[in-house]
Amino acid sequence: MGRKRNNFYMRSIFLLALCIFGLLQYHNFNYLDSRDTVLGDAVTNDSDDAILAMVPAPLHKYLTPHSRNHSGTATTGTLGVLGAPLLLNSSSSGAATATTISFDVYHPPNISEIKRQIVKYNDMQLVLNEDTFGPLQNDSVIIVVQVHTRITYLRHLIVSLAQAQDITKVLLVFSHDYYDEDINDLVQQIDFCKVLQIFYPYSIQTHPHEYPGVDPNDCQRNIKKDQAMISNCNNALYPDLYGHYREAKFTQTKHHWIWKANRVFNELEVTRYHTGLVLFLEEDHYVAEDFLYLLAMMQKRTKDLCPQCNVLSLGTYLKTFNYYTYHSKVEVMPWVSSKHNMGFAFNRTTWTNIRKCARHFCTYDDYNWDWSLQHVSQQCLQRKLHAMIVKGPRVFHIGECGVHHKNKNCESNQVISKVQHVLRIARTSHQLFPRSLTLTVPSLSKKTKLRKGNGGWGDLRDHELCLNMTLATR
């Protein structure tokens, strides 16, 4: 009886100790998680001054707009972060005095001039800063940024790229579907890596009254097919699967994506022998300072962690981030367009396989390039797209507005400020630059079903233009 009693006591003590240990661990994790959340929210100050204070002084030049688009006379000098005027001079007594400047009225280029400039840039293929950083190495990372018109977000992306480790080794390609001299000036200011600009030549800007822009004789979106046939509008025979006709502003993004990918892999001379990764970003993304370091580590570990992976993904759409738990963890799963389309990279081998499936991409009735790419993976590729995804994101989405979302304040500082503080916490608590990667098992999810497209892509002209842009011309 005494022995049984002793065993009972020992087991009770062991279980009690185990419970106490578990509670302590639970409290510790909750504390760290809440610290990330609380600091990320409570300390956040989204004023212009607060955001500027988080940026090293030498990089302030990328956040300072110039006065190109203002005309007449001005009583101030350079503009602040989001356009606030800064006085040029101050008196000896310390009181600020304004200086009046007169300058010529700025006239933006017309469509003919824009077309000439686009042809010139695309023919030149000029790599800026190559004399400083040397030629592109075959295994270096190429970063391709798709740019439209949101220059404020682009400024912050550039600032984040400038602070990244090993950024001097990359080729940074900006792919534009809108010609804007203020954006060009900003891009050509970059002095921390090699830079190349390419311009999508079939934009709505350069074809405002003809396909692929809006032809006056194009069918209206909601007109019925029988009415369209009677009116003999251009694309009457080809509504989408929902009975709607094309809208140029929505078709352009998919065209631009396939054009830029083909341009980088198959047309540029500087990439002729490139075998490394090409990382795809957009103008409203923001990167952590260790994103290239982590990308290289993921690429190195692919052979043993995920031999079937042909895509690496650095982004996430999560609203909160727990770097303490996930800063060095990755998971693997089939590539999903809605989850893994931000900050993802693949090499020439993967692109070649995608390009062979161009007909599936270009004829799928969905105006989204990412949904179309997933359709390619599911319906055409012998080796489907399989991704290694970092659980602690290194690419963030800071855009409040875009094709699908229109908020009241499309230049909000709130998300930018939040990302800055999340990364500052991760930096000060040594959660960036992990020494190793750990593979976690993703939670069981339903098998991705073949999905009906979102439409917007029934016009045969879009199919043909898209297919023509996947031809290798080099």
| 255 assigned binding-site residue | yes
What average pLDDT does the segment 169-176 reach?
A: 98
177 is in an annotated binding site: yes
The average confidence (pLDDT) of the chain is: 84
Q: What is the pTM of this model?
A: 0.83
348 is in an annotated binding site: no
147 is in an annotated binding site: yes
Residue 397 is assigned to a ligand binding site = yes
How many whole angstroms from its chain centre is CA 237? 36
The arithmetic mean of pLDDT across residues 142-165, rounded, is: 97
In this predicted structure, the answer to whether residue 456 has a pLDDT above a threshold of 60 is yes
**Average pLDDT, stretch 263-275?**
97
Query: Is there a contact between 32 and 324 (Cβ–Cβ < 8 Å)?
Result: yes
Q: Distance between CA 71 and CA 65 in Å, rounded?
A: 15
DSSP classification of residue 58: G
* Mean pLDDT in residue range 182-210: 97
Coil, strand or helix at 366? strand
- For residues 419 and 318, the model is more confident at 419
Is 149 marked as binding a ligand? Answer: yes
What gap in Å lies between CA 151 and CA 65, rounded to an integer? 9
pLDDT category at 31 given cuts 50, 70, 90 is very low
Instruction: Identify the pLDDT of residue 17.
Output: 64
252 annotated as ligand-binding: yes
Domain extents in the chain: 111-403+410-469
Range with the lowest mean pLDDT among 43-52, 120-129, 292-301? 43-52
Q: What is the pLDDT, as a whole number, of residue 472?
A: 72
Q: Which residue has the higher pLDDT, 19 or 219?
A: 219
Say if residue 55 carries a ligand binding annotation: no
Q: Which of 233, 237, 203, 207 is nearest to 220 (CA)?
A: 233
Domain 111-403+410-469 in this protein, CATH class: alpha beta
The shares of helix, strand and coil residues in the chain, as percent rounded to the nearest 5, are 40, 15, 45
Cβ burial of 207 (10 Å; 0-12, 13-18, 19+) is: middle
pLDDT band at 446 (very low <50, low <70, confident <90, very high): low
Nearest to 334 by CA among 442, 432, 427: 442
Residue 96 has pLDDT above 80, yes or no: no
Cα angle, residue 71 at apex, residues 68 and 77 outer, rounded to 5°: 65
- Closest to 172 (Cα-Cα) out of 147, 150, 208, 209: 147
